[in-house]
Structure formats: C-alpha cells, structure tokens
Structure 1
Amino acid sequence: MTPFDELQPMMVDEGNEDDGDDNSNENILFTGDYFGDQYDAQDFGWDSEEGLQVEGIDTDLGWEPPCSPSPSGSGPAQEKSRGTASDESHVANTNPTERLRVEEALQQPIQRVLFPIASAAKPIEERCSDAAALAGYRLYETQLHPETVTDINNQKNIYAPFASKLDWQTARWAKLRGPGSTAFTDLLSIDGVPNRLGLSYKNSKELNTLVDSLPAQRPKFQREEIVVAGEAYDVYFQDVVECVQALYRDPEFASHLVFLPERHYADPDHTMRLYHDMYAGKWWWAVQKSIEESTPGATIMPIIISSDKTQVTLFCNKAAYPVYITISNLPKDIRSKPSQRGQILLGYLPTTKLEHISNKAARRRTLANLFHACMSAILLPLRRLGVEGMEMASGDGVVRRVHPIFAAYVGDYPEQVLVTGVKTADLDSDGEDPPLQDISQTLAVLATADESPVEFMRACANAGIKPIYEPFWRHLPYADIYLSITPDVLHQLYQGVVKHLVSWIKAAYDPAELNARCRRMPPNHNSIFGLRAVRALMDFVYLAQYPIHSDESLAAMEDALQRFHDDKDTFIVLGIRMDFNLPKLHFLRHYLLFIYRFGTTDNFNTEYTERLHIDFAKEAYRASNRKNEYLQMTLWLERKEKVLRHERYI
C-alpha cells in the first residue's frame, strides 16, 4: 500500500437518492449522536431547498461549484493550460487505476546505465597499496598507546586504553548517558567505588584525560575572531577538508560509498527515467562529464551544507547557529539517520543581533555580510580543491582523486533568503513560473563592489539582490546558488502549504458543519474534504514526498499543482484570500526542477537538521556551565565523538 492509497481525499454524499445500482441497498440517513436528525439545514447556514448562494454560485449542500465533465471525461469543460503535464498524468490524478499503474512502475527492478567514460573515478593504483595497509581500523589501532593494548596476561585488550570491559562501559555511560562531571566525581568519591568496579580513573578529570588520549578521527574545533563595527565575535569551526575526509574514509561507510553518477530507468527500453538518490539525478552526471573533459579521472564529492539558528534554552532567549555538512557519496538512507553519523557539525556561527548598530537597514546588511564572511572563511579550501582535486583514500584503502564540490544548501525560508542574498518580493498569483535569478548577472554586479559604494548598492537593488560584498558561493567552482536551494518538506509543505490549507478550510466551513461532517465519516484519521483545490494540493503534498519518482509520477505531481492553481480562485470568491503571493506556495513550482537535478525531496528534508540540533546544540549546551559555553560545547562534542569512534572500533 502506498501513502496515497491510505490518504485518499473523501467525498461524503449528503443525500439519500438511489444511486442506480439495483443490487445495492437503499441509502438510509445515518441517525444518532454522530449526525442524523439532530441537525437541520439552518444549523449549517444554508436553505436545504435552494442551496447556499455565494456571489452567484449555486451549490448543493456546500459551496464548491459543480465540475462539468469535459468530452474526455478528465476535467472541466474549458480546460486551462496545465504546463508540461500530459493528459495521462491528469487522468492518473483522478483515476485510481491509472494512479496505481504509475506507482507500480516505481516498484519495478531498476535498469541501470553507468557513466560511460572509463577514466572517471578510476583508482590511483600506485597509491592504493600504501593506503590499504592502514585501511579499516588498522590506522586507529596503531595510534593507540602501545603500553595499553595488552592486559596483565599479555593478551590483546580491545578496550584499551581502558583496563577492562567494565572500565570502558562505565566510561561510555558517564560520557554519553551519565550525569554531569561534578555528579560523576561525587559518585567515584564514595569510598571503595572505583576499587570495587576496577576503574582506572577516580574522578571526571582523570576520565577526561583518558578520553582525550584516544585518537581523533574528526578534526578539532578552531576559533577565529571577527570584528564587526567595533565589536568582536567568535566563530567556531572545523576544517572542512578534514570533515569530508572523515566521512569519506570511515570504515563503516566503505561498502556504501557511491563514486559515479548513474541513470536509472523503470523499463528495459530506457524510456522512463527514475530519480531517487542524488547520484541518480542530472546534476552529478553533468558535473562529472564537465570535469572529465578537462581533467580525466575525477571522483566527484557533492557537498551538502545545512544551517538553521535554534534556541538552546527555554528562557533567556539563548540561541546557537550550527552549520552541518555531509557528502552525497553516502546514500540518503545513511545521511538521514543521526545514529549513522553521516552528518558532521561544521561550525557555530555568531548569533549576535548587532544591536549596537542603530540604523536598522545598516544592521540587516551587516548581518548578511557577517554570515557570508564566516561561511567564506570556512569553505575557502573548496575553491581550489573543487577544481584540482586531492588524493583521498576511502575506508577500504582505495585511493582516488576526489573533487569536493558544493552542490546543495538546505535551510528554511529565512535561511534561503540569507544564503542567496535575494530580497523578498511580491510573487505572481496566477501560478506562472517566473524566470530564476540569473547567476551571471549577479556575479557581474558583485564585480562592481570595489567601485563607489553608492553605485554598488544601486546595482544590487536593480538586480534584486542584497549588497553582499563577498557571498561565500561567489568563487566556488560549478556553483549556482539559485539552483542549489533545495525543497523543504517540513517548512514549505507541512508548516507552510498544509497549515495555510487548514486555515482556509476552517474559514470556508461553519464549525458546526465541520464537526458534523467529521462525525459522519467512517473512522479515518486522514480524511480530507472534497474540494477540488484542496484535493489537488494534497495530491501534490503526498506525491512530493515519494522516495522514488519517475517521469510519469513527476508529471502527475506537476499536474496536481496546476489543478490547484486552476481551482484556487474559489478561496478568493469566498473572501478567504485576497491573493496567493506566498513564497512557500510559489516554491512548489520549482520542485520538479530540483528533483530532476538532485533527486527526491527526502535527500534534503530540514527535519534532519532539526533533529541534529538535539545532539550538536541543545545537549551540548546543557553539558556546559553556561559560561563561555562554546569552548565547553566544542570540547564536549570532541570527547563524545572519540567515545563513539572507540565504541565502533571495539
């Protein structure tokens, strides 16, 4: 059963007329506490004989105008333009049999077409033999202190530098699940506890010294100071190259890494393209082809960055601004699970509001430039390595020339505006797709930054961008930031479109009618009222979350959105909306483009970022004493990472 099968919108027949089926029982009005004879037409605000009059629209027990079938039986008589969606996709949205056919195609064995250039992602043979000697956990084992790798019986101690299994398990509990450092020290200070447990440490300080001696797989945090308008702010970050190396060479990921793009099809004739993980999209294939033409033998490492400011306290309005990084060589099933450790905290950005700058316009410009200055410094190494590449060994010891290239940015709407540097503006309300921002025009404007500040700001205003002097993506190779902002299921669909839709339905129906209809329905927690615009938009929401798409299912998704735009004027007629200039609704027009480029939306859901906040921001802050917290948070995270690494080694 697919999600769509379970969540089909429902229509409720209000009458008791015979449906024409001689074999069916006569329809009987439901009576009792749920609906029945407790209510009459006046309770719902309509006349049962004349219907509800809404600005010239005569409806029957409701306000949606009747749908006149077209000659083909697939839509209104005067069909509006539906973009590029085919007639078949429209039928698939209204005909369960056709929809089932579309979905069954997604469950067929995948027909793969490999990247055709033989030199792509080719191992560097002369370097592989040296790296193979230290593949897996062998390098980690050699970095452990020699005097601690054997026990008193001269047997190998896999828990070293901890004395025993119990010694290690107590340490692991203390660092990952236990109380604070002071409480743990108080526990160990009880007479006889360390000796009876056979612990090699007697307080938290000695335990921390032991944990600090473990080899580090991931880099240490660095602190840089940035001065803005006379005020100094700290930026904490890890080396971006060492971060992606840590993911790429992790032995746990060696068997899962993807090195080349592929084209996937649902049929042997290769006529129906499939999209799911990022390596099956069009972006990776195009970049791989471009690099192979100039420097053959490249392995692309697509970089995904995500960021989101979050509160770390319920009071005092304390916030953190974490930035995360991952690579698309890891399948999305690993990247989406925090327990797999496929995402790394890249850094903490300043959370200042620059309140010492009194001019609000200047403050907004300075905040945007502060963000981009920090990100530029953090991602600086990618400018050269994205073009030249670097030798990098995967967890199995195979060395390739890897090109880390910025591919996608994940964030909510404020974050998207900040990253792209665009200004919010009124959007077309007719559902048409305005042209995307031109990156070449933007780069041309940014090139005038060294000229007169007044002329620079005027040029930025004419181009529709903010006066950012050095956007972090300006010099990154193969980067088009306007084609790197990804769909956001959490904020755009759930907290955006669906939230608006629920409010519109509440405004359209009297509360008594809503309650009555819900009571009359069979038990179903996913019931949706039968408005055509509502059904069309919910069709899009469900289709947009498919973990795998075909050309047909994407056409059906596009058609569902167009059907909503065709019928949405009903909300304007009722006075519920004046227009539909909603950025989150507008972005739905671009979902197909980004699925074609990067794969399905579950590659980039901001739900993953929200979940990472718990581990990398909230718990880290709670482990500090709230004074100079970032030094303590980063040190706590480094020790936690070492414990998790040692656990995997054991």
Structure 2
Amino acid sequence: MVYKSITWWKLFHRYYYKCSLNKRHAVVWYRDPDTVVTNMLDNPDFADGFDVCPYIELKRSDGTRKWSDVMSGNYSWQQATKIYENDPSTKGAMLVPIILGSDKTTVSVANGNTEYYPLYLSIGNVHNNIRCAHCNAVIPIGFLAIPKSDRKYDNDPNFRRFKKKLYHASITAILQSLKPAMSTPVVRRCPDGYYRRVMYDLAAYIADYPEQIYLAGTVQDWCPKCTAPQNNLDAAAGPRSREHTEALLEEFAGDGRILWDNYGIDDGVLPFTHNFPQADIHVMLTSDLLHQVIKGTFKDHLVEWVYDYLVITHGDAQGNVIMDNIDRRLAATPAFPGLRCFPHGRRFKQWTGDSSKALMKIYLAAVASYLPDEMMECLQAFLDFCYLTRRQDIEEQTLSSINLALRRFHHYRAIFIQTGVCDDFSLSRQHSLVHYHKNIILFGAPGGLCSSITESQHITAVKRPWRRSRHYEALSQMLLINQRLDKLAGLTVDFVDHGLLPITHWPPMEVDPFDIERDDEGPSDGERLLGKVTLAKTRNRSFPRYLTEIVEVINFGNLKYLTRQFLYEYLNNTLAGDLELDDLPRITSKIDIFNSAVAEFYAPSDVAGIRGMRQERIRCTNSWQGAHRKDCVFVVMDKDKPGLKGMDVVRTMLLFSFKYEGTTYPCALVQWYKRYGRSPDSKTVFGAHPLPHKFDYRYSLDCFSSMYVNQDADHHAHEIIF
C-alpha cells in the first residue's frame, strides 16, 4: 500500500565564506527521489491515465497525428530508441521520463522577506490532466538553499558563480538515487498492478526564464534553447546541445570571455545534467505558457506597449483619458463563470498570473477603436497563438494554425517599431515563442509542462504549511507537514482502490481568493461525459408555487402556454403547431423556482478534473451582489454543424421544474439573441461614446442593444466557437 512507504526528509550542508571572518552554511533538505517515483508508479489512482510506452496517436478520419501527453511526443521515442541501441539488454523495459520543476517563492514580505526554493518531481507516464489536477502526481523532493550575503557582495562575480554552482551541485546530489536506474533496469510495480522493468531518464525541466538561464549555464538575455545572438534573437540560429557546449568549452578552455561574449556560455557553471547519462538540459527546458506567453509577452510587453502607443500618439493627458475609458470597458464586462470583474480596470497592485489570464480574456474588445488595425491584428494573432497552444490535444491542423498565428504576430508587431514604441524585438520571453513548435512535437501539449503547475503546488507544499508553522525556522515543520500530507494522500488512494471511499473523495483544487467567480466554476472529478445540466438542490422559497401566480410575479404572460407547449412536444416528439392552450397537457403540480444550475461538461483545455470534466454555475436570480443576474449560455441546436453555426446564444430568465405523472421536468425560460451575419466580423468595434464613470457591469446585458460573442472567454470557448 502506498501510504506505508515513508519518504523521510534528509539534509546536507555546504559551507561557504561571506568574508574572511564570517563562515556560513547552506542547508539543502531533500528526500529520496527513487522512493518518490516508486510510490508514484505504484499509485492505482493513475491506472486510467498512465502510459507504459511511447505512442503515436493518429486521427481515424484522416490519419493525421495528434499530440497530447508526454509519451505521445517524439522525445520519449528517441530516448527509448537511444537507450536500446546503447544496451540491447534493456529491450522490453518501460521508460519513465523524469520531470523536474523548481521555482522560488515568497511566503511573507512583512516577516523578513521569507523565501523558499522547492524542487518538484513528476513522471511523464502520467497524463497531463492528472498532473494539472495535482492528484499526488507532482511531489516536492527538495528545498534548495538560498545563500544570502551583504549588499556589497550582490554583484560580486565570485559569489554569483558560487550560487550557481551550489544550485547545480544540490540538484546533482538530490538525484543521485535515480542514476543507477538510468543505465540498468529496475523492477517496479505500476498503477495497473503489473511489475515491469523500468528505466529512468531526465526528460523535462519546468522553470521560468531567469531559472532557465541558471539551468542552462547561459548568459542573461541569451536564449537557453538556441544560439541566436543576444542583440538579434530573431536571427537564424541552430539549437544548443550538450555536445555543442562541451565542444566549445574544450575549444576555448581558459578563455571565458569569448564564450561569454560570442556564445552566451558561462564557463564557470556546468549544468547538473552533465553528471547523468543522455540528459541534455537544453532539450529538457520546456515551454512556459505562464511566464513566456501570459505574463511575459502579453502583460509585460503588449499591454505596456499599447499604453505607450496611446501616450506617444495622443499625449500624456489624452492618453490617460483613453486608458481610463479602457479601464471602464474592462469593468463593464458582464458576469460570466470564469471571467474576473475588474472594478477599477488594471489599476490594482496585487497582480498575479491569474490576473493576467483574466485580462487576456476581455482585453481585445476593451481596446477596440483606440488602436490601428495593424495593432489589433497583432493582438488577435497573439491571442490565437496563446489559446491554440493551451489546448489539451494538438492536431497537425492545430499545429499549422499555431505557426500561422505566430507568423501573423511577427508580421503585425512591426507596427510598434513604426510608431516608436520600441526599438527591436530582442526579448527573451517573446523570442521563446519560436521554440513552441519543436517542443510540442517533443513533449506534447505545453499545458502539461507549464510553470503554473509548480506555482499552484506552492500553495500545498509551501504556503499552507508555512501558515500552520510557528514562523520561526519553519522549514522543519513544513517538511513534516508535507510528509504527513503525502501519507494521507496515499492512504486516500488506498481506501478508494479498496472501495472504502468514493472515487470523488479528493479535496477541491485551490482557487484565487480574489476572483469573485470562484464559486461559479472549477474542476469536476465526475465521470467523463459530453455534458449535463443540473438544477440547484434548493429552490427559491420566496417565489409562489403555481404557474398562474408566477406569471404575475415575473410579468411574462406567455409562460403558461410555453410550459405546456414544451411538455406536449416533449411527450409527443412533435411540434405543437397552432394548438390552443386547452389542447395542451395541463400542469397541476407545484412549480419549483431555482436561482442557479450547474453545467458539467468535458473541457480538458481549461482547469479540469483528472477526467477532463469541468463545471460552471449558471445563475438566474433577482438578487446577486445588489442587483439581478441572468447569465448567458450556449444552446446546441444542431450538433452536426460546426462551431457557432450549430449553436444559439440565449439569456436565462427563469429556472424551474415541475412534475407531470410522477416525472420531474427541469426547464429554463430564455431570451433568444438574434444573430447578425453568417461569419465573424473582421473587425471588433465598440460604442462610439465613452462609458459613464459609474457604469455598473451588472447592467451591461440590459443597457446595450447588440453584443459580440467572446471567443476568448475561456479555452473551451475558443475551441467550440468559430
């Protein structure tokens, strides 16, 4: 049983001198990664989402390829082939790609800027949706040291080099127990209960850009994946590799300045992968959607460039007036599950990755009519790239669309140079977009190897344990809490496997506490299905119970006829036509009115459960945060038609149910929106006049006569609306 395997925490010290009279030591806590991987392989909860060998997935319709999980990529194929060619005795062994991730995090700025540096481990055999759901598939295996010094040593090259060496030496020491199984197979039990010979391989490393520089041993502002020069990252360049770096170090041994200036290599740092067979840190570095795309290219580059453009074009005073109106547009976004309310636009300090994701969903419409067409095309191309790369399954056609979106983005972003906003595009995080194509082919969908996984894990592994501690030398308490949490998780898996707990007995995923929609959407651990809608468990007790009385309350006289017409058509499977009210079934039961319903559907590209299921709450109430709320929803009218052509957009006006001959019929009274045109508009526009200063987003659906369907509301919407 998994919970019986105890993974104790250990530590080692490394002493260093801050100055000639002051000796300090760096403490690194870790636990045996081989035991962690053994427990992970023996987890029966992964049985339905576990790959025992590399595979190629082809579409049945046209035979084109599809990439999703790590084992569907070329990397696992290449490594398995390489291992077998080097040692034919490994034939039949199962490859276990080791995925590492690390990210420094701060738990308290007020209490002395308390920082921790956790190191996480996962395996590539586990499917991406399980890894993203954190079901014990991402485990902290170490806490790296963070050496401190006086300010006068902050820019000391010797001290900075020491920190890098300590970083790589620590990871090397932590991973030593995995090294024997990288050359000789070991027997391990797998989630399906079978014993297999397995071989470990360092496959991927999840990190943001500054840490990628640390890992690759390259110079700041150089690319850790290719040899493009620092001042022209868009130039044609070849890939970096372990062999290439070793050849340069041998050729220019003792002349570190040439390596630093001409090749972007720090000869004083040897990546930890050089101590392990077949590992190449330049290949291992994965695409980071959170820091490279969302925080980097979108928030830090494009959003700031738009503001700079408005100031350059209109001057400081008028530019700020326009930005204020853009903020009011952001604040006017109607309530919808997963959309964040920005009551003051972008003007708030606690800006997180979730804030950037939320802004991305509504930003394009907010800046419409204030930017030239080329700039709008640039933003749209970038959003297309972002949403396409975030999909759970990436087909060959999707990959072509990603490449096209990137070419469009590179073409239209020239407008920022032409208008004087920036001088060039030699920006490391923006340059990283060119490597997504290759990384998808190697490792599958980028969403399964994104730093948002490790950042979310900080809550369970670092922040919550720190809050429970006494805050003084808290790390030892945090380690004990993590150890106990792992035991409880293993015990839960064992109980579920033996039928002592239901399969859905897992704690809910963490949500952003500043998101007002946090109760309206989230992952679901239910069984996979296309979709279903369930009314709330409790009715609204302030409403009357009979149709005649309800008609008077909601002031909709046709409700009685429509309800009986619906019942007739449902029972007879035919249209009611011109039947009179007396010819329709009579409803005599009491009516239950509900304030909400829950829609559950398959949406693996968004935050979902381990089976790809997601749930969103549809609200239809007269009192929600001081006003009424009537949500909009999609209704499938013809499942054979693609995209929005097979759907209509409606607004829920009443959710209710009634009984007829012992059967309960859930219903919704909706307002249908009329569609204009047969294809998406080539240009998104906004109203000609600025919004009033005190406009309330809760009345947006009532005040405007026409609206756009937002394809960027979430990743699932981007897939189905076209």
Query: What range is the shorter-chain TM-score in?
Result: 0.5 to 0.7
TM-score norm. by structure 1 comes to 0.62
2:445 and 2:289 map into 1 onto residues whose CA distance is 11
The question of 1:350 aligning with 2:195 is answered: no
- Summarize the Cα distance change of 1:646–1:275 in structure 2 as closer, same or farther, 3 Å threshold: closer
Report matched runs for 1:256-267 at 5 Å. 256-267=49-60
Report matched runs for 1:193-342 at 5 Å. 216-229=4-17, 230-270=23-63, 272-293=64-85, 294=88, 295-315=90-110, 316-338=112-134, 340-342=135-137
Q: Are the aligned partners of 1:244 and 1:327 in contact in 2 as well (CA < 8 Å)?
A: yes
Give 2:240's aligned residue.
437
Q: Are the aligned partners of 2:28 and 2:143 in contact in 1 as well (CA < 8 Å)?
A: yes
Give 1:372's aligned residue.
168
Give 2:277's aligned residue.
477
Report matched runs for 1:417-456 at 5 Å. 417-425=213-221, 427=230, 431-445=234-248, 454-455=254-255
The question of 1:589 aligning with 2:589 is answered: no
**SS of 2:203 mapped into structure 1:** strand
Q: Are the aligned partners of 2:172 and 2:275 in contact in 1 as well (CA < 8 Å)?
A: no
Report matched runs for 1:169-180 at 5 Å. none
**SS of 1:227 mapped into structure 2:** strand
1:353 and 1:535 map into 2 onto residues whose CA distance is 44
Give 2:479's aligned residue.
634
- Summarize the Cα distance change of 1:218–1:488 in structure 2 as closer, same or farther, 3 Å threshold: farther
The question of 1:568 aligning with 2:413 is answered: yes
Residue by residue over 1:384-411, the C-alpha shift from the partner in whole angstroms, topping out at 9 and shown as x without a partner, is 3112121111244311110111100001
- Summarize the Cα distance change of 1:365–1:518 in structure 2 as closer, same or farther, 3 Å threshold: closer
1:319 and 1:284 map into 2 onto residues whose CA distance is 35
2:26 and 2:325 map into 1 onto residues whose CA distance is 58
Q: Are the aligned partners of 1:251 and 1:396 in contact in 2 as well (CA < 8 Å)?
A: yes
1:327 and 1:554 map into 2 onto residues whose CA distance is 25
Q: Are the aligned partners of 1:301 and 1:405 in contact in 2 as well (CA < 8 Å)?
A: yes
1:388 and 1:585 map into 2 onto residues whose CA distance is 41
**SS of 1:401 mapped into structure 2:** strand
Give 1:503's aligned residue.
304
- Summarize the Cα distance change of 1:571–1:430 in structure 2 as closer, same or farther, 3 Å threshold: farther
Give 1:542's aligned residue.
387
1:226 and 1:517 map into 2 onto residues whose CA distance is 53
Stretch deviating more after TM superposition (315-324 or 283-292):
283-292
1:516 and 1:354 map into 2 onto residues whose CA distance is 46
CA drift at 1:643: 3.0
Unmatched 5+ stretches in structure 2: 18-22, 222-228, 311-318, 335-361, 496-722
Give 1:178's aligned residue.
none
Give 1:27's aligned residue.
none
Q: Are the aligned partners of 1:275 and 1:548 in contact in 2 as well (CA < 8 Å)?
A: yes
Number of aligned residue pairs: 433
Stretch deviating more after TM superposition (457-466 or 256-265):
457-466
TM-score norm. by structure 2 comes to 0.56
**SS of 1:556 mapped into structure 2:** helix
Q: Are the aligned partners of 1:291 and 1:298 in contact in 2 as well (CA < 8 Å)?
A: no
**SS of 2:15 mapped into structure 1:** strand
Structure 2 counterpart of 1:645, from 490, 499, 504: 490
1:443 and 1:388 map into 2 onto residues whose CA distance is 25
Stretch deviating more after TM superposition (227-236 or 298-307):
227-236
Give 2:265's aligned residue.
465
Q: Are the aligned partners of 2:107 and 2:115 in contact in 1 as well (CA < 8 Å)?
A: yes
- Summarize the Cα distance change of 1:507–1:385 in structure 2 as closer, same or farther, 3 Å threshold: same
2:454 and 2:181 map into 1 onto residues whose CA distance is 26
CA drift at 1:283: 0.7
1:536 and 1:318 map into 2 onto residues whose CA distance is 40
- Summarize the Cα distance change of 1:216–1:508 in structure 2 as closer, same or farther, 3 Å threshold: same
The residue type paired with residue 226 of structure 1 is R
Q: Are the aligned partners of 2:136 and 2:489 in contact in 1 as well (CA < 8 Å)?
A: no
The question of 1:402 aligning with 2:205 is answered: no
2:411 and 2:492 map into 1 onto residues whose CA distance is 57
Structure 1 counterpart of 2:470, from 625, 640, 643: 625
Structure with more strand by fraction: 2
Residue by residue over 1:494-522, the C-alpha shift from the partner in whole angstroms, topping out at 9 and shown as x without a partner, is 11111111122222233445666898999
- Summarize the Cα distance change of 1:323–1:566 in structure 2 as closer, same or farther, 3 Å threshold: same
1:627 and 1:517 map into 2 onto residues whose CA distance is 45
The residue type paired with residue 147 of structure 2 is T
CA drift at 1:629: 2.3
CA drift at 1:232: 1.6
Stretch deviating more after TM superposition (621-630 or 364-373):
621-630
1:372 and 1:631 map into 2 onto residues whose CA distance is 23
CA drift at 1:334: 0.8
Residue by residue over 1:137-172, the C-alpha shift from the partner in whole angstroms, topping out at 9 and shown as x without a partner, is 4xx6xxxxxxxxxxxxxxxxxxxxxxxxxxxxxxxx
The question of 1:552 aligning with 2:397 is answered: yes
CA drift at 1:351: 1.4
- Summarize the Cα distance change of 1:625–1:594 in structure 2 as closer, same or farther, 3 Å threshold: same
- Summarize the Cα distance change of 1:520–1:217 in structure 2 as closer, same or farther, 3 Å threshold: closer
CA drift at 1:434: 2.4
Q: Are the aligned partners of 1:288 and 1:300 in contact in 2 as well (CA < 8 Å)?
A: yes
> Identical aligned pairs, as a percentage?
28
Q: Are the aligned partners of 1:446 and 1:469 in contact in 2 as well (CA < 8 Å)?
A: no
2:250 and 2:481 map into 1 onto residues whose CA distance is 42
Q: Which has the higher contact order (CA 8 A, sep 6+)?
A: 1
1:473 and 1:354 map into 2 onto residues whose CA distance is 28
2:179 and 2:308 map into 1 onto residues whose CA distance is 52
- Summarize the Cα distance change of 1:255–1:571 in structure 2 as closer, same or farther, 3 Å threshold: closer
1:517 and 1:616 map into 2 onto residues whose CA distance is 39
CA drift at 1:469: 4.8
1:517 and 1:234 map into 2 onto residues whose CA distance is 49
CA drift at 1:228: 2.5
Give 1:197's aligned residue.
none
- Summarize the Cα distance change of 1:241–1:427 in structure 2 as closer, same or farther, 3 Å threshold: same
Q: Are the aligned partners of 2:131 and 2:137 in contact in 1 as well (CA < 8 Å)?
A: yes
Q: Are the aligned partners of 2:187 and 2:197 in contact in 1 as well (CA < 8 Å)?
A: yes
1:640 and 1:269 map into 2 onto residues whose CA distance is 46
Give 1:580's aligned residue.
425
1:355 and 1:430 map into 2 onto residues whose CA distance is 35
Q: Are the aligned partners of 1:323 and 1:346 in contact in 2 as well (CA < 8 Å)?
A: yes
The residue type paired with residue 240 of structure 2 is Q
1:462 and 1:379 map into 2 onto residues whose CA distance is 32
RMSD between aligned alpha carbons? Answer: 2.7
**SS of 2:219 mapped into structure 1:** coil
CA drift at 1:645: 2.9
1:636 and 1:553 map into 2 onto residues whose CA distance is 43
- Summarize the Cα distance change of 1:647–1:298 in structure 2 as closer, same or farther, 3 Å threshold: closer
